Amino acid sequence: MLTKIYKLFVLIFILLAFAFAANAQNTTEIVAPNGQRHAVAGKDRTRNDEEIVLYSPDYYRKKPTFKNGVDVYVVGGKVSVIQDRAGAVYIQNKPDPGAISVGKDGFVLSANGAARKWILANLKVGDEVKISEIKEVKNANGEVAPASLIPCFAGAYYRKAVSSFDAWTGIVGIVKLGTPKVDESRLSEKDKQPLDNFSVYVGGRAGDKEIDAGLTWGFTKDEQGNMSKRRNTWRPFWRNETWSNAPAEKQFYWYPGDVVQMAVIVAGPGKLRLVIADATPQPKRVFQVEFDAKTFAPNVPRQFKRVNAIDQFGNEGKPVQPTKAEVTGAEWLQTFLMRGAGADAKQIPMDKTRFTDMRCPNGSNIVVNVTDAAKGAEKIDVFGTPKK
């Protein structure tokens, strides 16, 4: 069995051979007055997309930042000026106000993209700003330890195993697909489709952006192009700024009981790659796609996860709706977190010491049976209505 699993992972690592090697992690962060924190990606260098970079006044005067961000001048530990150049130029259609005129004291924070939004949401003129070393608890292997507890995000029934924020470069797993069962009393008035759906996926988080990518319960098309009346197959999907899925084609359909390889890895600055394939030495069904994930930039700590879920349409962020829907029989045979890239990538078992165990909205909806703790192997059933 071990030899077979090894061969399967050799296959998926061939598919991932050109994975991007992430740079060293940042060690400093900004602390806003409200307690919110954001990593500082670097000092006195070019600011990349989705980053906050700290500049000394001398460097900033010689090499001012570009107009696609916000600059914050901090003097005496307090915000003196906030210059939202991107807001002026691209949102208000006004002239670029230019770089801040800085003195010899203090420093400048410059941010782009999601990092710019964080600055505008958490800092204002007069606020005290602290720059501190990131305090990390590491294990004997030098890995950042996972959080002991993470609050549930409302709107779905799910089991999530999620890593720490660290120098991870991806997640790779083998999973036996579960069998969904809908609640026939919860149908849309418009199209009579179930209001619950199902997904099994991996993904990650960097900065303030969450990425989901894996398999969702979806519709099929027959040879004449007719869509099935109900969702009846597992199909690849990915969600970054928008939601996308694989074409409704036979080579991208998987079914309950199928065993698949599933991976999401860092493929370059601001890029992730999803790979889904039959867990066989010579898979007949393979799907892979590379997509934008802007916050997965160099120097930004990354978190990776695997999830089994009952999703509820139009209910994200709201309390879960009562349902009898369930998905049973899923089993993660093993899962690895990745450090490094390509032939140098290390496969690190995602065992219980490397993830936070989230059972949402509460433990009574989730049944987990550990089959091999060292590999993070588990059988997982998700119930809308807890089983007595």
Cβ neighbors of 267 (< 8 A, separation 6 or more) are 18, 19, 20, 273, 290
The torsion of the CA quartet 111, 112, 117, 118, rounded to 10 degrees, works out to -40
Q: Give residue 183's pLDDT.
A: 97
Q: Of 208, 239, 30, 211, which Cα lies nearest the Cα of 115?
A: 208
DSSP letters spanning 324-375: --EEEEEEEEEEEEEES-GGG-EEEE--GGG-EEEEES-GGGEEEEEEEGGG
Q: Give residue 114's pLDDT.
A: 83
Q: Is residue 88 part of a domain?
A: yes
Burial of 187 (C-beta count, 10 Å sphere; 0-12/13-18/19+): middle
Q: Of 103, 100, 120, 102, which Cα lies nearest the Cα of 111?
A: 120
Residue 324 belongs to what domain range?
2-23+142-383
Q: Give residue 340's pLDDT.
A: 81
Q: Give residue 299's pLDDT.
A: 76
pLDDT 10s digits, 5-50: 444 444 454 445 444 544 444 568 899 998 888 888 889 999 988 8
**Domain match, 81 and 174 both:** no
10 Å Cβ neighbour count for 158? 23
Q: How confident is the model at residue 378 (pLDDT cuts 50, 70, 90)?
A: very high
Count structural domains, the chain.
2
Q: Is residue 388 part of a domain?
A: no
Q: Give residue 137's pLDDT.
A: 67
CATH number of the domain residue 55 falls in: 2.60.120
**Domain match, 250 and 331 both:** yes
Q: Average pLDDT for residues 263-281, to the nearest whole number?
A: 95
Looking up tokens 């197959």, which residue turns up? 233
pLDDT at 362 over 80: yes
Q: Give residue 63's pLDDT.
A: 95
- This prediction has a pTM of 0.72
**Domain match, 104 and 148 both:** no
pLDDT 10s digits, 56-110: 999 999 999 999 999 999 999 999 999 999 999 999 999 999 999 999 999 999 9
Task: Give the CA distances from residue 179 to residues 190, 214, 274, 364, 368, in Å, rounded to whole numbers and listed in that order.
Answer: 26, 16, 23, 19, 15
**Domain match, 178 and 318 both:** yes
Q: Which residue has the higher pLDDT, 174 or 341?
A: 174
Domain boundary among 113, 133, 153: 133
Q: Which residue has the higher pLDDT, 377 or 115?
A: 377
Looking up tokens 């619950």, which residue turns up? 196
CB 248 within 8 A of CB 235: yes
Residues in the chain: 388
Domain boundary among 115, 133, 151: 133
CATH number of the domain residue 203 falls in: 2.60.120.1270
Percent of the chain residues topping a pLDDT of 90? 74
